[in-house]
């Protein structure tokens, strides 16, 4: 879980930085801890001119109740596995769930962008300020792993392939959207 949690300084730096257009990013980079959230991953290009044929998103520990949105022209697969801990959802304990979602198909031409969406319940752990969603973008020729995490004190803009990041807001009252 250490890899998915950044210090407050790194979280603030990422949240206040404008997302680079060349990276896979979340459309909404901030959400309420413990809330239901629609994550929209924006894929801005292919791999050095080659069309995208697959997008895989790894789900960080503590994120549960993951459901992918289908896309015309793409098939969607989910991988389930045990969680490191048990979580409560709607009064029931869950100890396993979706840990990776993959869309295959398209293809998405290099000169176009697209969005891939999931709904999920976010962690409510007060110590978790930021979570990261490593993404693998596979193309007809090549692949890009968007899986780098900024270390404390490191400028997130210095990363060649940053993982999409979500800053969690810990405030009064949680959204309860399904």
CB-side exposure of 156: number of CA atoms within 13 Å?
Answer: 24
pLDDT at 157 over 90: no
Query: Which pLDDT score, from 0 to 100, does residue 22 have?
Result: 78
CB 45 within 8 A of CB 23: no
Query: Which pLDDT score, from 0 to 100, does residue 172 have?
Result: 60
Judged by phi (left if over 0) then psi (alpha if -120 to 50, else beta), residue 65 lies in left
Closest CA to 158 of 166, 169, 149: 149
**What CATH homologous superfamily does 2-165 map to?**
Uncharacterised protein YcnI-like PF07987, DUF1775 (2.60.40.2230)
pTM, to two decimals: 0.84
Query: Which pLDDT score, from 0 to 100, does residue 156 have?
Result: 75
Average model confidence (pLDDT) across the chain: 86
Query: Which pLDDT score, from 0 to 100, does residue 27 have?
Result: 94
Query: Which pLDDT score, from 0 to 100, does residue 77 have?
Result: 98
Average pLDDT of the segment spanning 157-171: 92
pLDDT at 99 over 50: yes
Average pLDDT of the segment spanning 153-175: 83
Residue 139: band (very low, low, confident or very high) from pLDDT cuts 50, 70, 90: very high
Q: Tell me how far apart the alpha carbons of residues 67 and 36 are, in angstroms, rounded to a whole number.
A: 11
Look at 9-18, 34-43, 153-162 and tell me which has the smallest mean pLDDT: 9-18
């Amino acid at each position: 879980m250490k890899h998915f949690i950044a210090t407050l300084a790194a979280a603030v730096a990422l949240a206040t930085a404008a997302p680079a257009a060349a990276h896979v990013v979340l459309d909404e980079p901030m959400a309420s801890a413990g809330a239901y959230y629609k994550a929209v991953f924006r894929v801005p290009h292919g791999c050095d001119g080659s069309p995208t044929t697959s997008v895989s998103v790894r789900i960080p520990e503590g994120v549960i109740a993951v459901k992918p949105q289908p896309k015309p022209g793409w098939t969607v697969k989910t991988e389930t596995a045990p969680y490191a801990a048990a979580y409560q959802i709607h009064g029931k304990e869950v100890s396993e769930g979706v840990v990776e979602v993959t869309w295959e198909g398209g293809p998405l031409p290099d000169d176009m962008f697209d969005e891939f969406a999931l709904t999920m319940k976010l962690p409510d752990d007060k110590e978790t300020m930021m979570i990261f969603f490593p993404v693998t973008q596979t193309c007809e020729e090549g692949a890009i792993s968007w899986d780098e995490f900024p270390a404390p004190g490191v400028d997130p803009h210095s990363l060649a392939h940053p993982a999409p990041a979500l800053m969690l807001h810990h405030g009064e009252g949680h959204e309860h959207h399904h």
